[in-house]
Amino acid sequence: MTAADQASSPLYATYARAELAFTRGEGVWLETAAGERYLDLMGGIAVNAFGHAHPHLVEALKRQAEKLWHVSNIFEIPGQRELGRRLCEASFAEAVFFTNSGAEAMECAIKTARRYHYAKGAPEKHRIVTFEGAFHGRTLATIAAGGQEKYLQGFGPKVEGFDQVPLGDREALAAAIGPETAAILIEPIQGEGGVRPVPHDFLRFIRALCDERGLLMMLDEIQCGMGRTGRLFAHEWAGVTPDLMAVAKAIGGGFPLGACLATEAASEAMVVGTHGSTYGGNPLAMAVGNAVLDLVLAPDFLPEVRRKGLLFKQKLASLTDTYPDQILGVRGEGLMLGLKCAGAPGPMVELLRQHGVLTVAAGDDVVRVLPALIISEAEMDEALARMEAALAAAAGSSAAA
Ligand SMILES: *Cc1c(COP(=O)(O)O)cnc(C)c1O
């Protein structure tokens, strides 16, 4: 695409798009119309957990497409009950609300937390404490929750009721809790913020604080959940459970789907008429969601993600040894990995793309590696070889300069 094409684009200019379009995909591979193949290590930003065109998901979507797409939540949707039951059985949750996206799942969690205190006779408790570096979505409430100036600027008054403290700061967190506080919201591993795992003892501290002060613990596992870290949900590593949790991205494997998971106590106040969605949990989404869960919950699947996550982390760490000026470190859990770069991540993402590897930037200096959870060892080796070639080329050209 030329600059002139972009200037005449009918689309909002909100995305800094690469000049690259794909026409098909299979597993961790993406192909352009010209037949160029790229190794996809970003998976649609942690969405394509089973890669592209996974036969089990394709089959589930096709089968449902021939029967029924959409009916409205005015009617029973058996697939919703089934997926809801299975998610509850596999987690802390006792109730689920389905949405079409992550931000909507967060909105549902925020409304649920406020309504919980309202129904308990404490309507003043509406404030939610969040953490610096957070990302919770792009709706008006979720940009307020994320608290990032670059996303808030120019969109009118920030939605009221969010207080932000530095990540990991116990004193600031305790001090931020007041008579109007309803909940504490955190990503167990910050994604957009730069693949920053929250120490497990800090998550346990939040749980204890919530119990002590009568607050709800809310997790955003939109990016780190659904098997990404080698457990179904990332908070399991810390041995704590939340009261509310937003999930999306991988839960639909590429079909737009999100969910708010809640304990019975936290969700009790969400009675008839308090919330709704036209599409949320429609039969097509439920067919795919159930098929994704078949794969995630298959015996040995999550242990295999843990094994491959460790292996890939070791392999990527070798880049730090060979190119210490460019790659300063590797962090993350399971297959949610981040390469800390010497500078802004954009040029590194671009360099890797020129060598046929797709990654995505995060934070000030991190390149995220979020491959499909089904990536093979041979594909990891291929990825590494391409990354090494890219870094060698960059090192060579900077030495020549
Ligand atoms: C992607 C993401 C969101 C927003 O999800 P959308 O589907 O884009 O609305 C929220 N929180 C986290 C942690 C995310 O990674």
Digit-coded pLDDT (tens) for 215-257:
999 999 999 999 999 999 999 999 999 999 999 999 999 999 9
CATH number, domain of 278, equals 3.40.640.10
Amino acid at 194: G
Q: Is residue 365 part of a domain?
A: yes
What would the two tokens of residue 360 be? 């995505």
Percent of the chain with pLDDT over 70: 98
226 and 133 fall within a common domain: yes
Task: Quote the number of domains for the chain.
Answer: 2
Neighbour count for residue 235 (Cβ, 10 Å): 27
Identify the pLDDT of residue 104.
98
314 and 275 fall within a common domain: no
Q: Residue 259 pLDDT more than 60? A: yes
CB 25 within 8 A of CB 52: yes
Backbone angles phi, psi at 178, to 5 degrees: -130, -175
10 Å CB burial of residue 176 (0-12, 13-18, 19+) is middle
Residue 191 Cβ inside 6 Å of ligand 1? The answer reads: yes
Q: Residue 328 pLDDT more than 70? A: yes
89 and 105 fall within a common domain: yes
Q: Is residue 171 part of a domain?
A: yes
CATH number, domain of 332, equals 3.90.1150.10
* CA atoms of 394 and 401, how far apart (whole Å): 11
- Which distant-in-sequence residues (6+ apart) come within 8 Å of 261 by Cβ? 87, 88, 91, 92, 93, 95, 96, 244, 245, 246, 247
Q: Residue 174 pLDDT more than 80? A: yes
Stretch 196-204: mean pLDDT: 98
386 and 361 fall within a common domain: yes
For residue 134, give the ligand 1 atom closest to its CA: 13
**Model pLDDT for residues 52-90, shown as the tens digit of each residue:** 999 999 999 999 999 999 999 999 999 999 999 999 999
Identify the pLDDT of residue 2.
55
Instruction: Tell me the Ramachandran region of residue 117: left when phi exceeds 0, alpha when psi lies from -120 to 50, beta otherwise.
Output: alpha
Residue 247 Cβ inside 6 Å of ligand 1? The answer reads: no
Identify the pLDDT of residue 5.
62
231 and 350 fall within a common domain: no
- Which distant-in-sequence residues (6+ apart) come within 8 Å of 303 by Cβ? 230
**Model pLDDT for residues 351-385, shown as the tens digit of each residue:** 999 999 999 999 999 999 999 999 999 999 999 99
Prediction pTM value: 0.97
Residue 40 Cβ inside 6 Å of ligand 1? The answer reads: no
Identify the pLDDT of residue 395.
87
Percent of the chain with pLDDT over 90: 96
112 and 211 fall within a common domain: yes
Distance in Å, CA 136 to ligand 1 centroid:
6
**Residue span of the structural domain in which 312 resides:** 3-53+301-400
235 and 346 fall within a common domain: no
Residue 146 Cβ inside 6 Å of ligand 1? The answer reads: no
Side-chain-side CA neighbours of 208 within 13 Å: the count stands at 10
10 Å CB burial of residue 200 (0-12, 13-18, 19+) is middle
Q: Is residue 60 part of a domain?
A: no
For residue 221, give the ligand 1 atom closest to its CA: 13
CB 219 within 8 A of CB 189: no
Identify the pLDDT of residue 183.
99
Beta strand segments in 34-143, E: 37-40, 95-99, 127-131
Who wins on pLDDT, 6 or 194? 194
Distance in Å, CA 135 to ligand 1 centroid:
7
Look up residue 228 and give its DSSP letter: T
Distance in Å, CA 202 to ligand 1 centroid:
22
Mean pLDDT, rounded, of the chain: 97
10 Å CB burial of residue 205 (0-12, 13-18, 19+) is middle
287 and 351 fall within a common domain: no
Neighbour count for residue 62 (Cβ, 10 Å): 10
Identify the pLDDT of residue 106.
98
For residue 192, give the ligand 1 atom closest to its CA: 15
153 and 19 fall within a common domain: no
